[in-house]
């Protein structure tokens, strides 16, 4: 009798372990980490008396989109993020200014920048269209409307190649009149 009970208990243990292994295959671990790259792209250009910044609103992790309407502009934080930021605005002399910050707080002033997962795609266009890197023609003097159109075109192109960029962009124009924020749709895939 005791042998039968032990054999039944062994089969019971095997059944429980088998079901536990099957259940673990369907369990998905979800947790927040401030060190995960959440995608998105920010492109900014400083002009003579203005600055333009566009930032997409897609928040993703891996191949999952968590939000299609999440602003890339950080307003408040409850602990430090591992981030490469850009400060965009008009300085005290009324000129457009951009400051690039790395993850440890070092910074440099620049006339244009791109941050995020699409930055390498955007910077190549900015180098060509703004700085005229390795070209014989002098850099063009773009007016505010041309600059806005350029950064919109750049982020639209980035959206076609970078799966972490998309949905919508916040178009932010800063000048002596103040801050103007508008939206522009991108692809939703």
87: which strand partners? 99
Q: What is the mean pLDDT of residues 78-93?
A: 80
Question: Is 140 or 15 the better-scoring residue by pLDDT?
Answer: 140
Domains of the chain with CATH codes: 41-185 (3.60.20.10)
pLDDT in tens, 87-112: 999 999 999 999 998 878 899 999 99
Cα distance between residue 28 and residue 24, in whole Å: 8
pLDDT tens across 118-158, in order?
Answer: 999 999 999 989 888 778 888 888 999 999 999 999 999 99
């Amino acid at each position: 009798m005791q042998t039968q009970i032990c054999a039944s208990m062994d089969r019971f243990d095997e059944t429980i372990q088998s079901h536990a292994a099957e259940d673990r295959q369907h369990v998905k671990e979800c947790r927040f980490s401030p060190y995960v790259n959440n995608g998105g792209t920010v492109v900014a250009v400083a002009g003579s008396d203005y600055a333009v910044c566009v930032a997409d609103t897609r928040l993703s992790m891996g191949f999952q989109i968590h939000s299609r309407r999440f602003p890339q502009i950080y307003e408040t934080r409850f602990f430090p993020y591992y981030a490469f930021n850009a400060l965009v605005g008009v300085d005290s002399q009324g000129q457009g200014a951009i400051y690039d910050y790395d993850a440890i707080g070092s910074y440099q002033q620049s006339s244009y920048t791109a941050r995020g997962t699409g930055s390498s795609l955007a910077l190549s266009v900015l180098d060509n269209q703004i700085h005229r890197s390795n070209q014989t023609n002098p850099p063009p003097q773009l007016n505010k409307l041309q600059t806005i159109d350029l950064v919109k075109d750049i982020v639209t192109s980035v959206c076609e190649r970078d799966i972490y960029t998309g949905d919508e962009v916040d178009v932010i124009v800063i000048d002596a009149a103040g801050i103007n924020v508008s939206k522009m749709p991108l692809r939703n895939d």
